[in-house]
Amino acid sequence: MIRVAVDAMGGDRGPEEIVAGAVDASSDTVQPVIVGPRDLDTQGLELIEAPDVIAMDEKPAEAVRAKPNSSLVVACRAVGERTADAVVSAGNTGAMLAACLLELRRIPGVRRPAIAVTIPARRGPSVLLDSGANADARPEDLVQFAHMGAVFAEEILGVARPEIRLLSIGEEPEKGSLLTREAHRLLAATDLNFAGNTEGRDLLTGAADVVVTDGFTGNVALKVTEGTIQSLLEGLREEVTATAVGKLGGLLIRPAARRLRKRLDPDTYGGAYLLGLRGLAVIAHGNSSRRAITNAVSLAARGVEKDVVGRLAQNLGESVLASRPSTTPTPNVR
Amino acid sequence: MIRVAVDAMGGDRGPEEIVAGAVDASSDTVQPVIVGPRDLDTQGLELIEAPDVIAMDEKPAEAVRAKPNSSLVVACRAVGERTADAVVSAGNTGAMLAACLLELRRIPGVRRPAIAVTIPARRGPSVLLDSGANADARPEDLVQFAHMGAVFAEEILGVARPEIRLLSIGEEPEKGSLLTREAHRLLAATDLNFAGNTEGRDLLTGAADVVVTDGFTGNVALKVTEGTIQSLLEGLREEVTATAVGKLGGLLIRPAARRLRKRLDPDTYGGAYLLGLRGLAVIAHGNSSRRAITNAVSLAARGVEKDVVGRLAQNLGESVLASRPSTTPTPNVR
């Protein structure tokens, strides 16, 4: 039985929505455990008591320090103390990151964890990381992100020998920033299936199975994608409803638009893994629906089942050894 | 009469398209001058001879050094030598940047020029800079970009006291990278109308009149926007044409879709200014149509008419003086 600690008090829609999503996710193999205040109606699910709440707008590090008994921190601690196998929260992302670093700790050799977001690309799902765990990264961090993304793509997306690309501003290795140019060099020297740079233009088409970037760029890219989808669909609605003929056409294409929207819906994936830690953590969208929470719990359970954390520890341990400075450059074994 | 040197050999569509666009832009006040080989049919426009051509995929710095008589370099030189007032090229962006630095040189005090792209945001046009002139930037560069963007918004978009925001990964000043956090502090201390951070989500909605970022992030944001628009419209077409009813609806909304596409069409603006130089340069899309070239020439002419370069030199000169290090922090005079 896989036990997933679910932070009932995170997210914008309130604990009822989250408990309902957790109930839907419970099965013969998955047992969600609700973390929240004593008087919460858990719909029959087990409760781990946590009297405090961290709000969405609290300063992450301070909130985590000041509220060790908040639902978010207690849920993370449950994984750290092995009373749960994974944690899901739709709460304050920064606080989740801080609580995970504190309660789960990093895999030895990992300098920075990364948020791995699944992009519903046209060619099939691909994973973008780091999507915002750290605003600043070093070239070596990007190599670790590539290893993490490869494990994610193999175990969760089911891709053998996933193709990895580096997000940059030109396809040639010499195009890009100091960070990406050096990361390109390091990635080419690993035994990963590194296929070079990709440009932002291909993110939603399906540039690669794994797209590696620093958390600042990844977060901007993700939000630009979301904003563009929303603006474009609103703009289209505006133009379509401007004429009677357009309105009729709009009615007729409604099912098609709905199918497209569903394909692009972040709720389909439920949440993003926070990778590089000694336990499995899933960060769900603040505005997560019941369905999103169900999917987030399933995503967490799948990660436990596939031993993503163990695989990461193994691969990153090897990559840490392999990336030790040497006087001769490591050959590109691709 | 404003003379605009037009590089006939840049761009993917060949010189006929570019000459045609230049012809359409010529008026009582604007005189396009074609730069290209001796035997080119200029449709009656004046020719500045340039025997060589820089290809789209040549390495910028090397190409500019190796081909001083290429159409791109000669067109830039015409502005440097004051035989033209501005230059337009749809050629190799990197080569254009290198040629402009060489032939036009920077405004005193400017460390890095920036590419200013007009975003067709829903609230109205806004300018994003740097959109890719430099992959790496310092906080002080971002302050200069803000000054450049302000002049652009005032003179070209006609906005009085334009609102400026910094592209980051959270609205709070403390959110972001080392670069954006320091740039935020510096921007708040200027007399610009700085309104804080904006997130990628609002780029196409119209976050501000001027959105400031480093060239790496700006280029990624721009390409993600373009790619998302394309993917989404293709995805919609796919879904719509999957059923007979959808197909009919698709026919009925075609004019609406066309209006939307037109609003978002980069050809409407024709090109992007390269700001921070002692002369006016417009970089057009590689795939520029005749109409795009016409608009790019008009954009260049408008910049000359409004003395964008003179205004920049004046404002940046002042900002250079104002940003000299002092022991007491400059008060925020907003």
Q: Cα dihedral sign for A307, A309, A310, A314?
A: positive
Whether the per-residue pLDDT at A220 is higher than 80: the answer is yes
* pLDDT tens-digit series, residues A207-217: 899 999 999 99
pLDDT band at A328 (very low <50, low <70, confident <90, very high): very low
Q: Which two tokens stand for residue A331?
A: 């050959």
The pLDDT value recorded for residue B333 is: 37
Out of A176, A221, A259, the one facing B224 most closely (by C-beta) is: A221
Instruction: Return the H-helix or E-strand segment holding B49.
Output: strand B47-49
Instruction: Specify the length of chain B in residues.
Output: 334
Q: Which residue of B has its CA nearest to A242?
A: B256
Range list of H helices, chain B: 15-25, 60-66, 71-80, 93-103, 139-155, 178-188, 215-240, 244-252, 254-264, 290-305, 308-322
Q: Inter-chain contact A239–B222, Cβ cutoff 8 Å? A: no
Contact of B167 with B221, CB cutoff 8 Å = yes
Say if the Cβ atoms of B223 and A167 lie within 8 Å. no
- CA distances (Å), origin B319, targets B101, B303, B325: 21, 21, 12
ipTM value, please give it: 0.89
Q: Residue B184: its chain A contacts at CB < 8 A?
A: none
> What is the DSSP track for A75-96?
HHHHHHTTSSSEEEE-S-HHHH
Pairwise CA distance, residues B281 & A191, whole Å:
44
pLDDT at B193: 97
Q: What pLDDT, on a 0 to 100 scale, did the predictor assign at position A109? A: 87
- Indicate if the pLDDT at residue B136 is higher than 70: yes
Under 8 Å between Cβ of A267 and A90:
no
Task: Assess contact for A193 and A164: CB atoms under 8 A.
Answer: yes
Cβ contact (<8 Å) for A220 and B220? yes
Judge whether B197 is closer than 8 Å to chain A, CB to CB.
Answer: no
How distant is the Cα of B326 from the closest Cα of chain A, in angstroms?
28
Give the tokens for residue B207: 């976050």
Please report residues of A whose CB lies closer than 8 A to that of B202.
227
Contact indicator for A120, A264 with CB cutoff of 8 Å: yes
**H or E stretch covering A184:** helix A178-188
pLDDT above 70: percentage of residues in chain A: 95
- Taking the Cβ of residue A235 and every Cβ of chain B, the question of whether any pair is shorter than 8 Å is answered with yes
Q: Which of residues 128-167 of B touch A (CB under 8 A)?
A: 132, 135-136, 167
Asked if the model's pLDDT at residue A123 lies above 90, the reply is: no
Whether residue B329 has pLDDT greater than 80: no
Mark residue A161 as left, alpha or beta (left: phi above 0; alpha: psi -120 to 50; beta: remaining): left
Q: Which residues of chain A are within 8 Å of residue B245 when distances are taken between CB atoms?
A: 252, 255
Query: Hey, are the CB atoms on B242 and A256 less than 8 Å from each other?
Result: yes
From the candidates A224, A225, A238, A260, which should be mutated to test the interface with B, based on the most B CB atoms within 10 A? Answer: A224
| Cα A314 off chain centre by | 20
Place A334 in a pLDDT band, splitting at 50, 70 and 90: very low
Which of B122, B224, B263 comes nearest A224 by C-beta? Answer: B224
Q: Does A203 touch chain B (CB under 8 A)?
A: yes
Across chain A, where does the E strand assignment appear? 2-7, 30-36, 47-49, 86-89, 114-119, 126-129, 164-168, 194-199, 210-212, 272-275, 280-283
Give me the amino acid identity at A84. A
Percentage of chain B exceeding pLDDT 90: 71
Q: Which of A:26-85 have CB within 8 Å of B?
A: none
Q: What does each C-alpha distance from B144 to B139, B208, B327 come to in angstroms?
A: 9, 17, 21
Q: Does B173 touch chain A (CB under 8 A)?
A: no
Task: Identify whether the C-beta of residue B273 lies closer than 8 Å to the C-beta of residue B303.
Answer: yes
| Segment B73-104, tens digit of pLDDT | 999 999 999 999 999 999 999 999 999 999 99
* pLDDT of the residue at A330: 42
- Token pair belonging to A101: 């670093």
CB atoms A200 and B216 under 8 Å: no
Q: How far is CA B106 from the centre of its chain?
A: 16
Say if residue A154's pLDDT is above 70: yes
Residues paired with B281 in a beta bridge = B87, B274
Question: Taking CB atoms and an 8 Å limit, are A200 and B215 in contact across chains?
Answer: no
Residue percentage of chain B with pLDDT more than 70:
95
